[in-house]
């Protein structure tokens, strides 16, 4: 069973995303169905290990979709001027956590869709060791990020996380 996209239109265009309306035609009976999809840039995220404290670094910030503060992996959207996914996660780690990262210390783990039924966003998960603090971190503009640290044993309690990228990262640490 397959569907074919017969038309698409932008229903909403915002600063960071678009909502598109698609018409899909069934290959079985040629009926058309309408779907909406959040069109968003790809993103990066990382399991970040602080070699000096032997702890994993996370960010705590308000998330409008969840309508509350959440503890998550450092993450950010891939921007047009990013040369590579590695450059993007290095920038995000500097902005959010305040650490300098050598490109050779960035290890790719997985790529995945966080919500393929509703969004085009593909996430790229990395592992990064850090030890060179260059700023306080906390994000840029209005991000208001708090840095949170956990040991590997504390990460065994994945119930404290509520988003798929962070659960995946915590499970990876303990696998």
| CATH number of the domain enclosing 105 | 3.90.79.10
Kindly state whether residues 147 and 102 are assigned to the same domain: yes
Using DSSP bridges, classify how beta strands 43-50 and 122-130 pair: parallel, antiparallel or unpaired: parallel
Kindly state whether residues 91 and 63 are assigned to the same domain: yes
Q: How many domains does the chain have?
A: 2
Kindly state whether residues 54 and 113 are assigned to the same domain: yes
Tell which phi-psi region holds residue 148, choosing left (phi > 0), alpha (psi between -120 and 50) or beta: beta
Kindly state whether residues 9 and 70 are assigned to the same domain: no
Distance between CA 21 and CA 95 in Å, rounded?
Answer: 35
Binned average pLDDT, 10 residues per bin, the chain of 175 residues: 86 90 88 91 97 97 93 94 92 96 95 92 97 88 89 91 95 93
Kindly state whether residues 94 and 145 are assigned to the same domain: yes
Chain center to CA of 79: 13
Kindly state whether residues 8 and 57 are assigned to the same domain: no
* Domain span at 29: 3-39
Kindly state whether residues 150 and 165 are assigned to the same domain: yes
Kindly state whether residues 56 and 127 are assigned to the same domain: yes
The sign one gets for the Cα dihedral 44, 50, 54, 55 is negative
Q: What is the pTM of this model?
A: 0.89
Q: What pLDDT score does 94 carry?
A: 96
Nearest to residue 39, comparing CAs of 124, 120, 113? 120
The sign one gets for the Cα dihedral 108, 132, 42, 72 is positive
Kindly state whether residues 32 and 107 are assigned to the same domain: no
Kindly state whether residues 96 and 135 are assigned to the same domain: yes
Q: What pLDDT score does 136 carry?
A: 85
Kindly state whether residues 14 and 90 are assigned to the same domain: no
Kindly state whether residues 32 and 48 are assigned to the same domain: no
Q: What pLDDT score does 141 carry?
A: 75
Q: What pLDDT score does 144 carry?
A: 87
Q: What pLDDT score does 1 carry?
A: 55
């Amino acid at each position: 069973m397959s569907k074919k996209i017969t038309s698409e239109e932008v229903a909403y265009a915002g600063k960071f995303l678009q909502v598109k309306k698609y018409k899909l035609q069934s290959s079985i009976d040629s009926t058309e169905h309408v779907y909406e999809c959040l069109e968003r840039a790809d993103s990066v995220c990382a399991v970040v290990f602080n070699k000096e404290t032997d702890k994993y670094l996370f960010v705590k910030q308000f998330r409008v979709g969840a309508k509350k503060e959440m503890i998550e992996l450092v993450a950010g959207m891939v921007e047009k001027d990013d040369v590579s996914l590695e450059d993007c996660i290095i920038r995000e780690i500097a902005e959010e956590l305040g650490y300098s990262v050598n490109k050779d210390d960035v290890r790719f783990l997985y790529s995945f869709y966080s919500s393929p039924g509703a969004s085009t966003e593909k996430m790229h998960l990395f592992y990064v060791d850090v030890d060179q603090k260059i700023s306080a971190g906390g994000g840029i503009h209005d991000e208001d990020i708090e840095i949170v640290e956990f040991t590997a044993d504390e990460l065994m309690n994945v119930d404290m996380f509520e988003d798929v990228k962070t659960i995946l990262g915590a499970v990876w640490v303990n696998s």
